[in-house]
Amino acid sequence: MSAAPVNVLIVGVGGQGVILASNILCEVAVRAGLDVKKSEIHGMSQRGGVVTSHVRFGERVHSPLIASGQSDVVLAFEAAEALRFAHEVKLGGALLASTQTLQPPKGPERKDSVKYPEDPLGRAKEVCHGRVVPIETQKIVRHLGNPKVTNTVLLGALSTSLEIPEQLWRDTISSMVPPKTVELNLKAFERGRQVVVVADLTV
């Protein structure tokens, strides 16, 4: 691994499982023998706000925060959040984004100038300096029969962008999810990997 740390920015909406996903990523990096730092914001953001988790790993990591526009990968749990952070992807990096949309509560009284974006991932492609891979997480988890494994699907997608052995991912996930769900989570992980592989073949 090169001297510069790898930067992964995980984004979503409170309650989507961003923090658990970043915990698993950190653990994978630790098991790969790397120095790791992560930083996230608790508190107010838990009340339906935007959640971001900065994860950095490499030989030696100093800053707990990623510089703007320097993320190797932005992993987005929600489509509008993918657009919000699309510019954080560095040249040649990747935005791996769930196609799921979550509308913030909004009535006619709140005449916000900004509306929920139309075709957020299409617009993200215009903004992003790296490739954009849409991931139909809702469709995938419906197939798998459990919406709770969305974050494992996304981790599967993420794993294809990082130089960490696949088996290490599988072992770490197996040890960190409830024992009864290991098989399901490994399936979800595999589905996530396939999405990116297929997308890359069709580019």
Partner 1 sequence: MSATDKNRLLMFGNEAIAYGAREAGCAFAAAYPGTPSTEILETFSRLPGIFAKWSPNEKVALEVGIGASLTGTRTLVTMKHVGVNVAMDPLMTFTYTGVRGGFVLVSADDPAMHSSQNEQDNRILAKFAKIPVFDPSDSQEAHDFTRLAFEVSERFNTPVMLRETTRIAHAKGLVTFGEWGEPVRGENFIREIDRFVMMPLYAKPRHTFAEHRTLELQKYSNEWEGNRLELNGSELGIITSGVAWNYIRELMPDASFLKVGMPWPFPAEKARQLAEHCERILVVEELEPFLEEEARIAGIAVEGKKYFPREGELNLDNVARGLYDAGLLGSAPIPVTGEPVIPRPPVLCAGCPHRGIYMALKKVNADVYGDIGCYTLAALPPLESLHTCFCMGASIGNSIGAKLSERDPKHPQVAVIGDGTFFHSGITGLLDAVTSNANVTVVIVDNDITAMTGGQENPGTGRDLMGNSVPSVKIEDVVIALGVKHLAIADTYNYDKTVEQLKAAIKHEGPSVVVARKACALFPKKLKIDPFVVKTDLCNGCAACFRIGCPAISNSGLTTEKGLVIAEIDADTCTGCTLCVQVCPVDAIVPLGDIEEVTA
Q: How many CA atoms lie within 13 A of 147 on its CB side?
A: 5
For partner 1, the binding residues in 126-185 under the rule CB under 8 A are 127, 176
Residue 131 CA to residue 43 CA, distance in Å, equals 33
Residue closer to partner 1 by CB (options 173, 195) is 173
Query: How near is the Cβ of 156 to partner 1 at its closest, in Å?
Result: 20
* 8 Å CB contact between 173 and 189: yes
- Decide: helix, strand or coil at residue 42: coil
Query: How near is the Cβ of 84 to partner 1 at its closest, in Å?
Result: 4
Contact between 38 and partner 1 by CB under 8 A: the answer reads yes
Contact between 194 and partner 1 by CB under 8 A: the answer reads no
Size of the site for partner 1 (CB under 8 A): 57
Residue closer to partner 1 by CB (options 45, 194) is 45
Closest CA relative to residue 9, chosen from 68, 80, 79, 91: 68
* 8 Å CB contact between 51 and 16: yes
Contact between 114 and partner 1 by CB under 8 A: the answer reads yes
Q: Take residue 46 and report the two structure tokens written for it.
A: 């838990």
Q: Please identify, among the stretches 39-47, 137-145, 163-171, 188-196, the one whose residues bind partner 1 according to the rule CB under 8 A.
A: 39-47
Query: How near is the Cβ of 66 to partner 1 at its closest, in Å?
Result: 8
Contact between 87 and partner 1 by CB under 8 A: the answer reads yes
* C-alpha dihedral (65, 70, 75, 77), degrees to nearest 10: 70
Residue 41 CA to residue 53 CA, distance in Å, equals 8
Residue closer to partner 1 by CB (options 67, 197) is 67
Contact between 191 and partner 1 by CB under 8 A: the answer reads no
Residue 189 CA to residue 20 CA, distance in Å, equals 14
Name the site residues for partner 1 (rule: CB under 8 A). 13, 23, 26-27, 30-31, 35-50, 61-70, 80-81, 83-88, 103-110, 112, 114-117, 120, 123, 127, 176
